Structure 1
Amino acid sequence: MNSETTFKFLRIMALIVVISYVLDKIVFYTFNKISDKVMTGQAIGKLNHFLSKKDSVDFMVFGNSRANRHIDVRVLNSNSFNMGMDGVGIAYNSALIGTLKNTHKQIVVVHIDTKNFFDKDYDGSDITSLKTKYKRNASITKALEESGQLSVFQKFYRSINYNGNTIGILKNVVRPSYNFRTYYGYDPITINESQTFMRDQVLLRENSTEDCENDYKINAVALKYLETIAAFAHRTPNKTFIFITSPLYHDSCDIDNIKLASLMDSLDLTYWDYTNLYKDTKNKSYWKDATHMTKNGAEAFSNYLNVQFKANHSF
């Protein structure tokens, strides 16, 4: 390839880069305009709703689907929001907690699952669920950049960050999933009569006893994010942090619970472990499966939590 051909090739490539960059920005800003109006659904709506309410509510819950389905925050406080999201871990929740204003007085409940915290494969990639806010929210952008989870392409071509969310966003533009003005983040589970047989079979298997692992090791990534939340909690006197593990139908081993409780104590964090709250009750109407409670179970647990909060005079 001679120098003239090489020059032409480089010019074409440069033109392609410029055009792709311009198109990316057009798509990015178009989706920004559209998505900012979406306040329903887990694609981006619940996140938008959270960001609009986070510094005005008095009681906040963070966590995964078990937080989302198990804690009816209105039982605990009328001015509240449950930011539990399906499939997320502590990295996602740490990033959102970092967006809270230091000056606003709040009770912040962080739901943690012992089994997930000791998961050897956890890598913090759940934080990428916040990628649509990259370069749009300073705190989230900082958390994403520090995570190392975004590729060079995602940082340069920002419209890529809408991949996987576009259908959910557009669906909720055309037909919102619910009335967000009356929504406070809690999504209870109900099961019909035809689902109870399968549920009962699943719970029957869960009664079996399994051996504990020889060595439970706390995941280093999860620990890093827990320490980040702890640092935020300790420098924010206006906020009261409570870490909670909600009930399981059956827990075959308590070594991980003991180790997590010890870690929480070493970090000077308040931790309430309710893994075995209903261990002896075995009320099947409380359960959808071995890890998720039905609306009946969630309401019983939320009422129990309310008693615990009221019993602690610091709240």
Structure 2
Amino acid sequence: MRKNHLIYVIKLSLIFILIVYLFDKIVYLGLEKLNSNVFTGQSGGKVNQFLKEKDNLDLVVFGSSRANHHINNSKLSDNSFNIGMDGAKIASAATLLLNLPENKKQTVLFHLSPAYAFDSLYNGDDILALSKLSNKNSIIKKEFEQLEKTTFLKKFFWTLNFNGSSLGLLKNYFYPKNNVNEYKGFDPITVTAQQKTIFKNISEKKTNLVCQKNFQLNPIYEKYINDIDNFCKKNNKHLIIFTAPIYSDDCKKDDIALEHFLNLKNITYWNLTDMFQNNRSLENWRDNSHLSHKGAEIFTDSIKAKLDIIK
């Protein structure tokens, strides 16, 4: 009797697991169908637009909010896209870059922050923003596995990869933020009067940041710099790594250390941290590391001039 009872429990458990598994896949297919029709918003739509257009682009901007909000790429090329994402660091940005087409000539502007590059605690968690594509895109799936960002539960329950983004997808599906035919990825920042006042008060206070003495490149940053460098050299991409302006940069040693590393690898590096050093107008800034829409236009013009020189 006990044996029969145990067999019954096992069979019931297996049936339950099978039902849950099938239900998860049905829900996942629905979410995936929804996601594939969303092309606006940073909950997934912007990435979808990039992946849809990537093979036909001449110029692409990668990086964090300091790429997203700072470069009006339409001024650089009519056939371009800015896939800068708020909160992105090298893992997510480099993974998207590795999706570019092979053997097609393209200019790649890739933003790197020296402060993050030498952060020993960085573990690549920003790649989780691409979770919903980790079962669909082989390149993204590979990077998830290499960074050990996938779990048994996520491998079994695919809907978990949409956790936290479903509402954003629904919102952008029914109420698209941008006109896809006109949107090129650049999101300028319009600064409010209150934000101006806050930053003015902050900028007038002196900081006493102490630079660390030793600069060891984070191993994840080193891996991805090597990956994107090799990929670009192999596939006819003109890679330019840049650092966007900072209003007050209290530590220069990390800039120098990053520049030294990139120079050894013969990678073009534009350190533009101090570009506004002779123009201290707060009209160009939202905060210490983000330009206003006015500052972004000035910065973009500077990038355009540098690109024109090397063409």
What interval of TM-score do these two structures reach, taking the shorter chain for normalisation? over 0.9
Alpha-carbon separation, structure 2, partners of 1:195 and 1:135: 41
Match of 1:124 in 2: 124
Alpha-carbon separation, structure 2, partners of 1:45 and 1:124: 21
Alpha-carbon separation, structure 2, partners of 1:259 and 1:2: 69
Match of 2:198 in 1: 198
Match of 1:216 in 2: 215
1:81-230 paired onto structure 2 within 5 Å: 81-205=81-205, 207-230=206-229
**Equivalent pair of 1:128/1:150 in contact (CA under 8 Å):** no
Q: Which runs of 5+ in 1 are unaligned?
A: none
Secondary structure, in 3 states, of the residue corresponding to 2:213?
A: coil
The one-character-per-residue Cα deviations of 1:205-229 (angstroms, maximum 9, x if unpaired) are: 3x53533222222111221121111
Could you tell which deviates more after superposition, 112-121 or 136-145? Answer: 136-145
Alpha-carbon separation, structure 2, partners of 1:301 and 1:113: 16
**Residue 233 of structure 1 pairs with residue 232 of structure 2:** yes
Secondary structure, in 3 states, of the residue corresponding to 1:247?
A: coil
Alpha-carbon separation, structure 2, partners of 1:139 and 1:305: 30
Alpha-carbon separation, structure 2, partners of 1:94 and 1:193: 36
Match of 2:252 in 1: 254
Secondary structure, in 3 states, of the residue corresponding to 2:286?
A: coil
Equivalent residue letter for 1:105: K
Secondary structure, in 3 states, of the residue corresponding to 1:271?
A: strand
**Residue 8 of structure 1 pairs with residue 8 of structure 2:** yes
Correspondence for 2:294 among 285, 293, 296: 296
Q: Measure how far apart 1:125 and its partner are.
A: 1.3
**Equivalent pair of 2:243/2:270 in contact (CA under 8 Å):** yes
**Equivalent pair of 2:103/2:234 in contact (CA under 8 Å):** no
The percent identity for this pair of structures is 33
Alpha-carbon separation, structure 2, partners of 1:210 and 1:199: 18
- TM-score, normalised via structure 1 length: 0.95
Alpha-carbon separation, structure 2, partners of 1:97 and 1:195: 33
Q: Which runs of 5+ in 2 are unaligned?
A: none
Q: Measure how far apart 1:103 and its partner are.
A: 2.4
Match of 1:64 in 2: 64
Equivalent residue letter for 2:44: I
The one-character-per-residue Cα deviations of 1:101-146 (angstroms, maximum 9, x if unpaired) are: 1122110110001111111221011112111112212222222222
* Residues matched between the structures, number: 311
Structure 1 segments of 4+ aligned residues over 4 angstroms from their partners: none
Equivalent residue letter for 2:238: T
- TM-score, normalised via structure 2 length: 0.96
The CA RMSD over aligned residues, in Å, is 1.4
The one-character-per-residue Cα deviations of 1:170-209 (angstroms, maximum 9, x if unpaired) are: 011111112121100000101122332112012223x535
The one-character-per-residue Cα deviations of 1:62-88 (angstroms, maximum 9, x if unpaired) are: 000000011111111111100000001
Correspondence for 2:306 among 268, 284, 308: 308
